[in-house]
Copies of this chain bind each other. A is one copy, B any other.
Amino acid sequence: MPKRTLIRGGEVVTPTDRFRADVLIEGERITALGDGAQWDADTIVDAAGCLVMPGGVDTHTHLEHMSANGLTRTADDFHSGTVSAAFGGTTTIVDFVRARPDQGMYDAFQRRLESAEAQCVVDFGFHPIVPPTAGDATFDELARLAREGATSWKFFMSYPGTMVDDRVLIQGFRRCAEEGVLPMVHAENGTLVADATQRLLSDNQTAEHQHHAAHSHVAEREAVHRAVTIAESVGSPLFVVHVSSRLAAEEIARHQARDFAVFGETCPQYLLTSYEDYAGLGFEAAAYVCSPPIRERANQEDLWHALQTGVISTLGTDHAAFTLSQPDDLPPQKPQGRGYFPKIPNGVPGVEDRLMVIWEAGVVGGRFDVHRFVDLVATRPAKLFGLYPRKGTLTPGSDADVLVWDPAADHTITAAGHHTRADYNLYEGMRVSGRPRHVLSRGDIVVSDGELHAPAGRGRYLARATSDTSR
């Protein structure tokens, strides 16, 4: 007989509803919600004064991420990364699989799966990355992966050596349409970015913060439009990751208004930090380097607006942690690009902070309500990436990934206190009033009152279903 856990006394929140109810968990699943006075349980989790929400779903992480050239790797492995996620209330991540040039997609997937299974403390899935050389054979392998639950594929429209041309986009999106796969794009016109980079270098504008100048707003808008056009041409939906520019958001809105199934994700770093934060820094500007870049402060309000009007559907992190110092046990980190921005490893940490900072700026800040919060960080990503109804919701039958959220916490975010291996935090010193008190993953209490109770390897691979792109 399965273990029974009762979350008692909280207020359940979903994208639609908010109600006082106890949540009964039997084994790994939720079995009932309601007045649980008569329900007995092995374990009682006290949720008094708390909101009870589905565990966070972050569909954009880069753990144990090797650079395309094989020369560097992110600071977080699957263990430190998922521990950090769990502390932040995120109980599902979807990460990426990239094959080395000499490697098949399926083989790459297997090795990545093994590593993740050995280390993860919460559940995980994978988006395969479509290589620039992809042809029929590659797509056949990818289709096999789709049948094994990798039902979203990532296409890079930028980065030398990784960016795909229109031929691959067309062929790839068509295969997505055929296989029920959701295509995702990193939307920047890589040729424009490369050209701007080259011109900056020619002008000796190599300082860390110049990374920003290499990535124009219009390069992002262009890629969005092109990807939409190709998706539309072959009949697939489209997911645009890390929308950073108001022009890209407007472009997405324009196509949504004619009912084209395009979805956008943005990330906390684009909403809460800005170019002005690092324009005046020296090497420390490297802490902010990611692509698309963290943009001007004036751009933030337009991104929030896109969230508020529903143009942006999900919040991911693009968590790719690198250190500002150079630890001995890690390959080259941020210092690799000291004084020469093209060599700075791209990426910022954030998997642990996502819910706290967005709660603070979004819900406490009056930009949207708690329903929209749950939708952005859990339900919508789960639906779009084929995880629903196992993840992203609190209903009888769904996985008991539950977040007991204390809206009256008083917590200050610091690098000293976080659990990623990154040695800095973009939100250093930010005071937040909402924070996970207990985090459950498939019925297990994995974090409780700031303590971890989860062995490495308890996380499981999630074979994902087809995307639900209804709105």
B-contacting residues of A (Cβ < 8 Å)?
12, 14-21, 24, 30-36, 165-167, 170-171, 189, 191-192, 195-196, 216, 218-219, 221-222, 225-226, 229-230, 232-233, 253, 256-257, 259, 305, 308-310, 368-369, 371-372, 375, 379, 389, 393, 395-398, 470-471
Contact = CB atoms under 8 A, between A and B. Distances in A.
B195 A218 contact: no
A191 B165 contact: yes
Contacts of A17: 14, 16, 389, 393, 395
A177 to B, nearest CB: 13
- Interface SS of A by simple majority: mixed
Contact of A229 (B221, B257, B309): B221
A470 B259 contact: no
A233 B192 contact: yes
A396 B35 contact: yes
Candidate in A12, A33, A171, A379 with the most chain B CB atoms within 10 angstroms: A33
Contacts of A195: 167, 170-171, 233
Nearest to A15: B16
Given A192-B166, A192-B170, A396-B20, A259 B34 contact: no
B259 A369 contact: no
Nearest to A29: B35
A56 to B, nearest CB: 16
Candidate in A16, A166, A225, A398 with the most chain B CB atoms within 10 angstroms: A16
B21 A396 contact: yes
Contacts of A225: 222, 225-226
A397 B16 contact: no
Given A33-B33, A257-B253, A19 B396 contact: yes
Contacts of A379: 16
Given A191-B170, A253-B257, A19 B395 contact: yes
Contact of A34 (B24, B192, B221): B24
A21 B395 contact: yes
Given A20-B396, A216-B233, 14 more contacts: A14-B14, A16-B379, A18-B389, A19-B395, A33-B395, A166-B189, A167-B195, A189-B229, A192-B229, A225-B225, A225-B226, A226-B226, A256-B309, A371-B470
